[in-house]
Amino acid sequence: MDLSNYSFLITGGAGFIGSNLVEYLLNNNAKLVRVLDNFATGKRENIAPFLQNERFQLIEGDIRDYNTCKDAVAAIDFVSHQAALGSVPRSINDPITTNEVNIAGFLNVLNAVRECGVKKMVYAASSSTYGDSKILPKVENVIGNPLSPYAVTKYVNELYAQVFADLYSLNSVGLRYFNVFGPKQDPNGAYAAVIPLFMKSALAKESPYINGDGEQTRDFTYVENAVQANVKALLSETNGHEVMNIAFGERTSLNQLWNYITDLADVSLKPIYRENRAGDVRDSLANISKATNTIGYEPKFSVVEGLEITYNWYKGHE
Protein backbone atom coordinates (compact mmCIF):
# COMPACT_ATOMS: atom_id res chain seq x y z
CA MET A 1 0.00 0.00 0.00
CA ASP A 2 1.28 3.45 -0.93
CA LEU A 3 2.03 5.38 2.27
CA SER A 4 3.01 8.64 0.55
CA ASN A 5 -0.41 10.19 1.18
CA TYR A 6 -0.42 9.55 4.93
CA SER A 7 1.07 11.22 7.99
CA PHE A 8 1.88 9.23 11.12
CA LEU A 9 2.51 10.11 14.76
CA ILE A 10 4.55 7.63 16.77
CA THR A 11 4.47 8.40 20.49
CA GLY A 12 7.52 6.92 22.17
CA GLY A 13 9.16 6.90 18.74
CA ALA A 14 12.67 7.07 20.21
CA GLY A 15 12.03 3.85 22.12
CA PHE A 16 12.78 0.31 21.06
CA ILE A 17 9.60 -0.66 19.18
CA GLY A 18 8.76 2.92 18.22
CA SER A 19 12.07 3.63 16.49
CA ASN A 20 11.87 0.38 14.52
CA LEU A 21 8.40 1.43 13.39
CA VAL A 22 9.63 4.92 12.42
CA GLU A 23 12.39 3.35 10.33
CA TYR A 24 9.91 1.13 8.50
CA LEU A 25 7.52 4.00 7.72
CA LEU A 26 10.27 6.29 6.42
CA ASN A 27 11.76 3.48 4.32
CA ASN A 28 8.33 2.90 2.81
CA ASN A 29 7.79 6.50 1.77
CA ALA A 30 5.32 7.76 4.39
CA LYS A 31 4.47 11.43 3.74
CA LEU A 32 5.32 12.43 7.31
CA VAL A 33 6.51 10.57 10.39
CA ARG A 34 6.32 12.63 13.58
CA VAL A 35 7.73 11.40 16.88
CA LEU A 36 6.67 12.55 20.34
CA ASP A 37 9.11 11.46 23.05
CA ASN A 38 10.40 12.81 26.36
CA PHE A 39 13.49 10.57 26.31
CA ALA A 40 12.75 9.18 29.76
CA THR A 41 13.41 5.69 28.39
CA GLY A 42 13.83 6.40 24.65
CA LYS A 43 17.28 6.95 23.20
CA ARG A 44 18.38 9.84 21.00
CA GLU A 45 20.66 7.51 19.08
CA ASN A 46 17.63 5.47 18.02
CA ILE A 47 16.30 8.38 15.95
CA ALA A 48 19.60 10.08 15.06
CA PRO A 49 19.61 8.54 11.53
CA PHE A 50 16.24 10.17 10.76
CA LEU A 51 16.92 13.75 11.86
CA GLN A 52 18.04 14.94 8.42
CA ASN A 53 15.06 13.36 6.67
CA GLU A 54 12.63 16.07 5.53
CA ARG A 55 9.72 13.68 6.13
CA PHE A 56 10.64 13.26 9.81
CA GLN A 57 9.66 15.55 12.69
CA LEU A 58 10.53 15.37 16.38
CA ILE A 59 8.53 16.89 19.20
CA GLU A 60 10.34 16.58 22.51
CA GLY A 61 7.56 16.48 25.06
CA ASP A 62 5.60 14.44 27.56
CA ILE A 63 2.27 12.68 27.02
CA ARG A 64 1.28 13.76 30.53
CA ASP A 65 0.86 17.29 29.12
CA TYR A 66 -2.40 17.53 27.18
CA ASN A 67 -1.46 20.53 25.04
CA THR A 68 1.68 18.72 23.93
CA CYS A 69 -0.48 15.78 22.85
CA LYS A 70 -2.81 18.06 20.87
CA ASP A 71 0.14 19.70 19.11
CA ALA A 72 1.61 16.31 18.25
CA VAL A 73 -1.65 14.96 16.82
CA ALA A 74 -2.42 18.03 14.67
CA ALA A 75 -2.69 17.22 10.93
CA ILE A 76 -1.98 13.52 11.51
CA ASP A 77 -3.82 10.66 9.79
CA PHE A 78 -2.73 7.73 11.97
CA VAL A 79 -1.37 7.46 15.52
CA SER A 80 0.70 4.57 16.84
CA HIS A 81 0.88 5.01 20.60
CA GLN A 82 4.00 3.26 21.89
CA ALA A 83 4.86 5.68 24.72
CA ALA A 84 4.64 4.04 28.14
CA LEU A 85 6.64 3.12 31.20
CA GLY A 86 7.27 -0.58 30.67
CA SER A 87 8.46 -3.22 33.12
CA VAL A 88 6.52 -5.08 35.79
CA PRO A 89 9.27 -4.56 38.44
CA ARG A 90 9.37 -0.81 37.73
CA SER A 91 5.62 -0.59 38.29
CA ILE A 92 5.91 -2.49 41.58
CA ASN A 93 8.65 -0.10 42.75
CA ASP A 94 6.91 3.06 41.49
CA PRO A 95 3.19 2.53 40.83
CA ILE A 96 2.41 6.26 40.93
CA THR A 97 4.58 7.25 37.96
CA THR A 98 3.56 4.15 36.02
CA ASN A 99 -0.08 5.15 36.49
CA GLU A 100 0.54 8.77 35.49
CA VAL A 101 2.29 7.86 32.25
CA ASN A 102 0.37 4.74 31.25
CA ILE A 103 -3.16 5.82 32.18
CA ALA A 104 -3.27 9.63 32.36
CA GLY A 105 -0.86 9.91 29.44
CA PHE A 106 -2.81 7.36 27.41
CA LEU A 107 -6.05 9.22 28.06
CA ASN A 108 -4.43 12.48 26.91
CA VAL A 109 -3.38 10.90 23.61
CA LEU A 110 -6.74 9.19 23.15
CA ASN A 111 -8.69 12.41 23.70
CA ALA A 112 -6.36 14.39 21.45
CA VAL A 113 -6.95 11.78 18.75
CA ARG A 114 -10.71 12.23 19.23
CA GLU A 115 -10.56 16.03 19.10
CA CYS A 116 -8.31 16.15 16.04
CA GLY A 117 -10.20 13.66 13.89
CA VAL A 118 -7.42 11.09 13.44
CA LYS A 119 -8.46 8.14 11.25
CA LYS A 120 -7.24 5.45 13.64
CA MET A 121 -5.11 4.92 16.72
CA VAL A 122 -3.16 1.72 17.33
CA TYR A 123 -1.65 1.32 20.78
CA ALA A 124 0.70 -0.98 22.63
CA ALA A 125 -1.38 -3.24 24.84
CA SER A 126 0.26 -6.07 26.76
CA SER A 127 0.13 -9.79 27.40
CA SER A 128 0.36 -8.87 31.11
CA THR A 129 -3.40 -8.26 30.88
CA TYR A 130 -3.91 -12.05 31.06
CA GLY A 131 -2.73 -11.90 34.67
CA ASP A 132 -3.15 -15.05 36.72
CA SER A 133 -5.09 -16.97 34.05
CA LYS A 134 -3.47 -20.36 33.56
CA ILE A 135 -5.22 -21.08 30.25
CA LEU A 136 -2.89 -21.64 27.27
CA PRO A 137 -2.80 -20.47 24.59
CA LYS A 138 -4.04 -17.01 25.56
CA VAL A 139 -7.23 -15.96 23.76
CA GLU A 140 -8.29 -12.31 23.76
CA ASN A 141 -11.65 -12.65 25.51
CA VAL A 142 -10.41 -14.74 28.48
CA ILE A 143 -8.27 -12.85 30.99
CA GLY A 144 -7.42 -13.29 34.67
CA ASN A 145 -6.68 -10.94 37.54
CA PRO A 146 -3.75 -8.55 37.05
CA LEU A 147 -0.52 -9.34 38.89
CA SER A 148 1.14 -5.91 38.85
CA PRO A 149 0.38 -2.18 38.63
CA TYR A 150 1.75 -2.29 35.07
CA ALA A 151 -0.83 -4.93 34.11
CA VAL A 152 -3.59 -2.79 35.63
CA THR A 153 -2.55 0.21 33.54
CA LYS A 154 -2.53 -1.78 30.31
CA TYR A 155 -5.98 -3.21 30.98
CA VAL A 156 -7.33 0.26 31.78
CA ASN A 157 -6.05 1.41 28.37
CA GLU A 158 -8.23 -1.22 26.73
CA LEU A 159 -11.26 -0.18 28.79
CA TYR A 160 -10.80 3.49 27.86
CA ALA A 161 -10.35 2.68 24.17
CA GLN A 162 -13.58 0.66 24.18
CA VAL A 163 -15.50 3.46 25.89
CA PHE A 164 -14.19 6.00 23.36
CA ALA A 165 -15.23 3.68 20.54
CA ASP A 166 -18.74 3.36 22.00
CA LEU A 167 -19.23 7.04 22.90
CA TYR A 168 -17.29 8.87 20.17
CA SER A 169 -16.94 6.28 17.36
CA LEU A 170 -13.15 6.45 17.74
CA ASN A 171 -11.41 3.66 15.80
CA SER A 172 -8.58 1.96 17.68
CA VAL A 173 -6.71 -1.32 17.90
CA GLY A 174 -4.86 -2.58 20.97
CA LEU A 175 -1.95 -4.90 20.22
CA ARG A 176 -1.23 -7.22 23.13
CA TYR A 177 2.50 -7.65 22.67
CA PHE A 178 4.14 -10.84 23.89
CA ASN A 179 7.80 -10.27 24.91
CA VAL A 180 8.98 -8.27 21.93
CA PHE A 181 12.75 -8.28 21.31
CA GLY A 182 15.24 -7.10 18.71
CA PRO A 183 17.77 -4.43 17.73
CA LYS A 184 17.75 -1.16 19.70
CA GLN A 185 16.42 -2.79 22.89
CA ASP A 186 18.44 -1.40 25.79
CA PRO A 187 20.48 -4.00 27.73
CA ASN A 188 21.39 -1.53 30.47
CA GLY A 189 19.49 -0.30 33.51
CA ALA A 190 17.54 -1.87 36.33
CA TYR A 191 14.55 -2.81 34.15
CA ALA A 192 16.24 -4.30 31.09
CA ALA A 193 14.40 -7.24 29.50
CA VAL A 194 15.73 -10.78 29.49
CA ILE A 195 16.96 -11.07 25.88
CA PRO A 196 19.15 -7.95 25.89
CA LEU A 197 20.49 -9.02 29.28
CA PHE A 198 21.30 -12.49 27.93
CA MET A 199 22.94 -10.95 24.84
CA LYS A 200 25.06 -8.69 27.03
CA SER A 201 26.15 -11.64 29.19
CA ALA A 202 27.02 -13.84 26.21
CA LEU A 203 29.10 -11.12 24.55
CA ALA A 204 30.91 -10.45 27.84
CA LYS A 205 31.36 -14.22 28.36
CA GLU A 206 29.64 -13.98 31.76
CA SER A 207 26.94 -16.18 33.26
CA PRO A 208 23.50 -14.56 33.28
CA TYR A 209 21.05 -14.52 36.16
CA ILE A 210 17.77 -16.39 35.74
CA ASN A 211 14.90 -15.72 38.12
CA GLY A 212 13.44 -19.08 39.16
CA ASP A 213 14.35 -22.44 37.61
CA GLY A 214 14.46 -21.21 34.01
CA GLU A 215 11.67 -23.53 32.90
CA GLN A 216 9.12 -20.71 32.75
CA THR A 217 8.08 -20.05 29.15
CA ARG A 218 7.42 -16.99 27.02
CA ASP A 219 6.13 -16.36 23.51
CA PHE A 220 9.09 -14.27 22.32
CA THR A 221 8.26 -12.00 19.38
CA TYR A 222 10.82 -10.47 17.04
CA VAL A 223 10.31 -6.71 16.65
CA GLU A 224 9.74 -6.79 12.87
CA ASN A 225 6.65 -8.90 13.55
CA ALA A 226 5.38 -6.17 15.89
CA VAL A 227 6.14 -3.49 13.29
CA GLN A 228 4.17 -5.43 10.69
CA ALA A 229 1.24 -5.70 13.11
CA ASN A 230 1.24 -1.95 13.77
CA VAL A 231 1.26 -1.02 10.09
CA LYS A 232 -1.42 -3.57 9.16
CA ALA A 233 -3.61 -2.54 12.09
CA LEU A 234 -3.31 1.16 11.22
CA LEU A 235 -4.27 0.59 7.60
CA SER A 236 -6.90 -2.10 8.22
CA GLU A 237 -10.63 -1.66 7.73
CA THR A 238 -11.51 -2.34 11.38
CA ASN A 239 -14.11 -0.12 13.00
CA GLY A 240 -14.65 0.59 16.68
CA HIS A 241 -12.20 -1.01 19.09
CA GLU A 242 -10.39 -4.31 18.71
CA VAL A 243 -7.78 -6.03 20.87
CA MET A 244 -5.53 -8.73 19.47
CA ASN A 245 -2.50 -10.80 20.43
CA ILE A 246 0.78 -10.08 18.65
CA ALA A 247 3.28 -12.89 19.07
CA PHE A 248 4.96 -15.69 17.14
CA GLY A 249 2.79 -18.43 18.65
CA GLU A 250 5.53 -20.59 20.15
CA ARG A 251 6.72 -21.24 23.73
CA THR A 252 10.38 -20.93 24.64
CA SER A 253 11.74 -21.52 28.14
CA LEU A 254 14.42 -19.22 29.52
CA ASN A 255 16.81 -22.17 29.62
CA GLN A 256 16.16 -22.87 25.93
CA LEU A 257 16.59 -19.18 25.20
CA TRP A 258 20.00 -19.10 26.87
CA ASN A 259 21.05 -22.22 24.95
CA TYR A 260 20.09 -20.56 21.64
CA ILE A 261 22.14 -17.49 22.51
CA THR A 262 25.20 -19.44 23.70
CA ASP A 263 25.12 -21.32 20.38
CA LEU A 264 25.14 -18.00 18.51
CA ALA A 265 27.95 -16.63 20.68
CA ASP A 266 29.87 -19.95 20.72
CA VAL A 267 30.29 -19.88 24.49
CA SER A 268 29.59 -22.45 27.21
CA LEU A 269 28.29 -20.82 30.36
CA LYS A 270 25.86 -22.01 33.02
CA PRO A 271 23.23 -19.54 34.28
CA ILE A 272 23.07 -18.46 37.91
CA TYR A 273 19.60 -19.20 39.30
CA ARG A 274 17.95 -17.02 41.93
CA GLU A 275 14.51 -16.34 43.44
CA ASN A 276 11.39 -15.94 41.34
CA ARG A 277 10.46 -12.34 40.61
CA ALA A 278 7.26 -10.82 42.03
CA GLY A 279 4.50 -10.19 39.50
CA ASP A 280 5.79 -12.61 36.86
CA VAL A 281 3.59 -15.21 35.20
CA ARG A 282 4.87 -18.77 34.89
CA ASP A 283 3.95 -19.52 31.28
CA SER A 284 2.80 -17.53 28.29
CA LEU A 285 1.68 -18.50 24.80
CA ALA A 286 -0.53 -16.57 22.39
CA ASN A 287 -3.27 -17.65 20.04
CA ILE A 288 -2.67 -15.25 17.12
CA SER A 289 -5.59 -16.31 14.93
CA LYS A 290 -7.60 -13.13 15.61
CA ALA A 291 -4.79 -10.89 14.36
CA THR A 292 -4.31 -13.16 11.34
CA ASN A 293 -8.00 -13.11 10.46
CA THR A 294 -8.65 -9.44 11.30
CA ILE A 295 -5.61 -7.57 9.95
CA GLY A 296 -3.74 -10.25 7.99
CA TYR A 297 -0.92 -10.53 10.53
CA GLU A 298 1.60 -13.20 9.56
CA PRO A 299 4.77 -13.23 11.69
CA LYS A 300 7.71 -13.54 9.29
CA PHE A 301 10.51 -14.09 11.80
CA SER A 302 10.81 -17.07 14.13
CA VAL A 303 12.43 -16.75 17.54
CA VAL A 304 15.68 -18.32 16.33
CA GLU A 305 15.83 -16.11 13.21
CA GLY A 306 15.14 -13.01 15.30
CA LEU A 307 17.77 -13.98 17.87
CA GLU A 308 20.44 -14.32 15.17
CA ILE A 309 19.69 -10.86 13.73
CA THR A 310 19.56 -9.40 17.24
CA TYR A 311 22.82 -11.02 18.32
CA ASN A 312 24.62 -9.64 15.27
CA TRP A 313 23.22 -6.18 16.03
CA TYR A 314 24.45 -6.25 19.64
CA LYS A 315 27.81 -7.61 18.50
CA GLY A 316 28.15 -4.65 16.16
CA HIS A 317 27.20 -2.18 18.92
CA GLU A 318 29.46 -3.39 21.76
Tell me the pLDDT tens digit for each residue of 78-110: 999 999 998 889 999 999 999 999 999 999 999
Alpha-carbon distance of 153 to 241, in angstroms, equals: 17
- What are the two backbone dihedrals, phi and then psi, of residue 122, each rounded to the nearest 5 degrees? -110, 140
- Residues annotated as catalytic are 150
pLDDT band at 280 (very low <50, low <70, confident <90, very high): confident
- Judged against a pLDDT cut of 90, whether residue 190 lies above it is answered with no
The answer to whether residue 33 is domain-embedded is yes
- Judged against a pLDDT cut of 90, whether residue 47 lies above it is answered with yes
Mean pLDDT of the chain: 96
Query: Residue 161 is part of a domain; what is its CATH number?
Result: 3.40.50.720
- Judged against a pLDDT cut of 80, whether residue 116 lies above it is answered with yes
Alpha-carbon distance of 91 to 85, in angstroms, equals: 8
Task: Determine what percent of the chain is predicted with pLDDT higher than 90.
Answer: 93
The answer to whether residue 245 is domain-embedded is yes
Helix, strand, or coil here: 90? helix
Q: What is the pLDDT of residues 237-274, one digit of tens each?
A: 999 999 999 999 999 999 999 999 999 999 999 999 99
The answer to whether residue 258 is domain-embedded is no
How high is the pLDDT of residue 298? 98
Write out the residue range of the structural domain in which residue 145 sits: 7-180+221-249+285-299
Which residues are registered as beta bridge partners of 209?
A: 272
- Judged against a pLDDT cut of 90, whether residue 145 lies above it is answered with yes
- Judged against a pLDDT cut of 80, whether residue 1 lies above it is answered with no
The answer to whether residue 27 is domain-embedded is yes
Task: Look at the chain and report how many structural domains it folds into.
Answer: 1
In this structure, which amino acid lies at residue 54? Answer: E
Alpha-carbon distance of 60 to 67, in angstroms, equals: 13
Alpha-carbon distance of 203 to 87, in angstroms, equals: 24
How high is the pLDDT of residue 34? 98
CB-based burial label for 36 (10 Å; 0-12, 13-18, 19+): buried
The answer to whether residue 37 is domain-embedded is yes
